[in-house]
């Protein structure tokens, strides 16, 4: 198993990715220390619609966090797809299955690899969150936004697990080419739905959309958010395991190798 995981690590250029992430975290830390924000720095301030004075530097750091979360969720999926492409391109499976490596172990290695990636990115996201929050002032809107970003960490990464619980079987059972077609079709449908919304939908919904109301809602619904944080990883892990069992069942019975 260790060897299979190392192969996947090499296929995503793991060393380069690790060094890049370490550099990003260090730069984030460095910039946060140089631009400490509200509690320490009274320049770069702006007034909100409600008359609250907030620091733009704080807002910039807090608002960058959802971008990181989204990027990390996507990176988990992209990395997995890259390992599959690497395996198919280099005919890894034909080679592996001629050795005493069974199909179950190969499937398990993919699930474990995605699990490790998810945990690693979740940890990096939490570190960035801690660094960002360390120098925040006591402005309620910004603090609540920062808390919301932290609260989204575990549900966000549960989403990454769920996405891969579908992605892994599709790639392994149908092959990379068909998987790409399905993924493209899915995102095209999403794209068309958005276009349809703009053409025929009620756009006043977007007009009413207010991020500060979401932050306020999160602040007053701590119990519900905590419940989501508890339930979402448990459910996604359970579904991830069910997905593994289903994939193993069909993959062991599958004839031929998609290479």
Partner 1 sequence: MNKTELKRLLIYLAFSFGLAYAWFFVTNMKFVKWQDLSNPMQSFIALGMLAPLLSHILTRLVTKEGFKLSGKDSMMLGISFKNGKWIFFLIAILLPWIYLELSNALTILFFRELYDPEYYVSLEIDKRLLNIFPLAAIVSGVFGSFAAFGEEAGWRGYMMPKLLKLFGADEDTSLSKGKKLRATILACITGGIIWGLWHAPLTCIGHNFGTDYPGFPFVGIARMCLFCTLMGIMLTFVTVKSGSVWPAAIMHAVNNAGPSILNGYINPERAGTWITKYFSGIWQMAVMLILAIICLTLLLSDKSKIRVKECIEN
- Report the interface residues with partner 1, using CB under 8 A: 2, 119, 122-123, 126-127, 130-131, 133-134, 136, 138, 146, 153-154, 157, 222-223, 226-227, 229-230, 233-234
Residue number with CB closer to partner 1 (164 or 171): 164
Residue number with CB closer to partner 1 (32 or 93): 32
**Directed axis angle between helix 140-151 and helix 153-174, to 10°?**
30
Give, rounded to a whole angstrom, the gap between the first and last alpha carbons of the chain. Answer: 22
Concatenating the DSSP letter of every residue in 160-212 gives HHHHHHHHHHHHHHH-HHHHHHHHHHHHHHHHHHHHHHHHHS-THHHHH--HH
Q: Can you say whether residue 58 is alpha, beta or left, with left for phi > 0 and alpha for psi between -120 and 50 degrees? A: alpha
> In whole angstroms, how close is the CB of 8 to partner 1 at the nearest point?
14
Residue number with CB closer to partner 1 (71 or 226): 226
Residue number with CB closer to partner 1 (137 or 169): 137
Q: How many residues does the chain have?
A: 259
Q: Round to whole Å and give the CA distance between 227 and 32.
A: 31
How big is the chain by its Cα radius of gyration, in Å?
Answer: 22
> In whole angstroms, how close is the CB of 86 to partner 1 at the nearest point?
21
> In whole angstroms, how close is the CB of 29 to partner 1 at the nearest point?
9
Residue number with CB closer to partner 1 (23 or 234): 234
> In whole angstroms, how close is the CB of 134 to partner 1 at the nearest point?
4
> In whole angstroms, how close is the CB of 223 to partner 1 at the nearest point?
5
> In whole angstroms, how close is the CB of 25 to partner 1 at the nearest point?
10
Residue number with CB closer to partner 1 (119 or 250): 119
Concatenating the DSSP letter of every residue in 18-35 gives HHHHHHHHHHHHHHHHHS
């Amino acid at each position: 198993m260790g060897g299979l995981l190392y192969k996947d690590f090499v296929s995503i250029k793991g060393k380069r990715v690790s060094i890049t992430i370490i550099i990003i975290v260090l730069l984030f830390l460095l910039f946060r220390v140089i631009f400490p924000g509200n509690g320490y720095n009274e320049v770069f301030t702006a007034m909100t619609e409600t008359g609250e004075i907030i620091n733009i530097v704080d807002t910039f750091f807090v608002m960058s966090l959802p971008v990181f979360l989204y990027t990390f969720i996507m990176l988990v999926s992209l990395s997995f797809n890259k390992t599959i492409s690497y395996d198919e391109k280099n005919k890894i499976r034909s080679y592996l299955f001629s050795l005493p490596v069974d199909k179950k172990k190969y499937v398990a290695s993919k699930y474990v690899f995605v699990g490790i990636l998810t945990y690693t990115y979740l940890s990096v996201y939490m570190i960035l969150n801690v660094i960002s929050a360390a120098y925040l002032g006591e402005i309620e809107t910004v603090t609540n936004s920062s808390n919301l970003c932290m609260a989204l960490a575990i549900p966000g990464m549960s989403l990454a697990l769920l996405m891969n619980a579908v992605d892994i079987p599709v790639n392994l059972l149908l092959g990379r080419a068909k998987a790409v077609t399905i993924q493209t079709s899915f995102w095209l449908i999403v794209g068309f739905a958005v276009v349809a919304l703009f053409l025929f939908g009620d756009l006043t919904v977007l007009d009413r959309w207010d991020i500060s109301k979401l932050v306020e809602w999160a602040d007053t619904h701590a119990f519900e958010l905590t419940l989501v944080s508890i339930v979402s990883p448990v459910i996604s892990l359970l579904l991830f395991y069910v997905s593994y069992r289903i994939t193993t069942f069909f993959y062991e019975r599958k004839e031929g190798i998609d290479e």
